[in-house]
């Protein structure tokens, strides 16, 4: 891993990059649970392809069409490492990002972000957003988790039965999920809204089950680029798409957050592997 241009906290439990407060690796039972592209760039200002990108203050393309970076700016900026504790059972880190001239040029608001990560028997991420402005803040967030799987074509995802989703492959139109677990036969890019459900991924190829449990998050995003889109991603090898599935926890679209001045919004995700 090219660690020259970025600062890292590396441990037997996994690795965290100060750019984006980005958990890039987490191991359970000695095996990687997060996908990390072998083509990912590890350069200042470039999003890392894999792990858990922190998405703030908007999800997806610039909502105002001003050419600002997709998925906001938090994942591209260097956060301050304020806590680092390596214990026998886990690595604990906390990183913070506050508004500055650079962020205000993109998004003219005062805020404080804090990401707490515990890499141990489970991966627990807590993202706190504080409104330091004099007016309400409206924003979207996501912990854009890339799960490592044996073959997406043989995996199934349960927990979203009956949920409403916006299908980004169908112009964002609303659909309702059926009762059966999701199976994957092509590109998928869906924002499930108004759901606090825990999702369970069955991976028969690697012989494991991954669970994604969340609090303070009403949206779950499910994404796999499949063949064509993966080929268009410079920081993802063409043959990597079967080995990943994004199951992201956030507050997107209908679930965007409006936060009163001085208030703090907290969301948490806990990922387990068994
Ligand atoms: O989370 C799904 C998504 O919004 C997809 O539409 C795809 O663009 C993915 O995020 C990756 O986005 P990125 O900006 O990291 O290439």
- Regarding the beta carbon of 168 and ligand 1, being less than 6 Å apart is answered yes
**How does the average pLDDT of the chain come out, rounded?**
97
Which of 165, 171, 246, 250 has most ligand 1 atoms within 8 Å of CB, for mutation?
Answer: 246
Q: Give the pLDDT score at 3.
A: 47
- Regarding the beta carbon of 128 and ligand 1, being less than 6 Å apart is answered no
Q: Give the pLDDT score at 109.
A: 98
| Residue whose CA is at the smallest distance from ligand 1 atom 9 | 223
Q: Give the pLDDT score at 2.
A: 44
Give pTM, 2 decimals: 0.97
The pair of structure tokens assigned to 219 is: 């949206």
- Regarding the beta carbon of 250 and ligand 1, being less than 6 Å apart is answered no
Distance 78 CA to ligand 1 centre (A): 20
**Average pLDDT over every residue of 69-75:** 98
pLDDT at 21 over 90: yes
Which of 146, 221, 223, 253 has most ligand 1 atoms within 8 Å of CB, for mutation?
Answer: 223
What is the rounded CA–CA span in Å between residue 235 and residue 22?
Answer: 16
What is the rounded CA–CA span in Å between residue 233 and residue 49?
Answer: 10
Q: Give the pLDDT score at 1.
A: 46
Distance 61 CA to ligand 1 centre (A): 9
pLDDT at 244 over 90: yes
Distance 62 CA to ligand 1 centre (A): 12
Burial label for 148, CB within 10 Å (0-12, 13-18, 19+), is buried
Q: Give the pLDDT score at 4.
A: 52
User: Which distant-in-sequence residues (6+ apart) come within 8 Å of 14 by Cβ?
Assistant: 23, 24, 25, 26, 27, 34, 91, 119, 123
pLDDT at 83 over 60: yes
> Is the C-alpha dihedral spanning 134, 136, 137, 142 positive or negative?
positive
């Amino acid at each position: 891993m090219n660690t020259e241009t970025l600062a890292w906290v590396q441990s037997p439990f996994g690795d965290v990059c100060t750019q984006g407060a980005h958990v890039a690796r987490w191991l359970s039972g000695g095996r990687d649970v997060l996908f990390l592209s072998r083509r990912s760039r590890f350069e200042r200002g470039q999003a890392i392809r894999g792990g858990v990108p922190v998405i703030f203050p908007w999800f997806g393309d610039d909502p105002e069409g001003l050419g600002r970076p997709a998925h906001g700016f938090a994942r591209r900026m260097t956060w301050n490492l304020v806590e680092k504790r390596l214990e026998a059972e886990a690595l604990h880190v906390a990183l913070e990002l506050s508004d500055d001239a650079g962020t205000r040029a993109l998004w003219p608001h005062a805020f404080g972000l804090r990401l707490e990560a515990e890499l141990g028997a489970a991966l627990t991420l807590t993202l706190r957003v504080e409104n330091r402005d004099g007016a309400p803040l409206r924003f979207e967030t996501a912990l854009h988790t890339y799960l490592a799987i044996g073959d997406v074509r043989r995996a199934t995802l349960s927990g979203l039965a009956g949920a409403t989703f916006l299908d980004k492959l169908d112009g964002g139109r609303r659909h309702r999920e059926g009762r059966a677990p999701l199976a994957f036969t092509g590109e998928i890019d869906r924002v499930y809204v108004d759901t606090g459900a825990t999702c369970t991924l069955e991976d028969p190829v690697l012989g494991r089950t991954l669970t994604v449990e969340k609090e303070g998050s009403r949206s779950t995003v499910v994404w796999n680029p499949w063949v064509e889109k993966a080929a268009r991603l410079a920081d993802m090898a063409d043959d990597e798409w079967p080995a990943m599935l994004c199951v992201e926890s956030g507050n997107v679209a209908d679930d965007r957050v409006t936060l009163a001045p001085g208030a703090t919004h907290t969301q948490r995700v806990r990922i387990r592997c068994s």
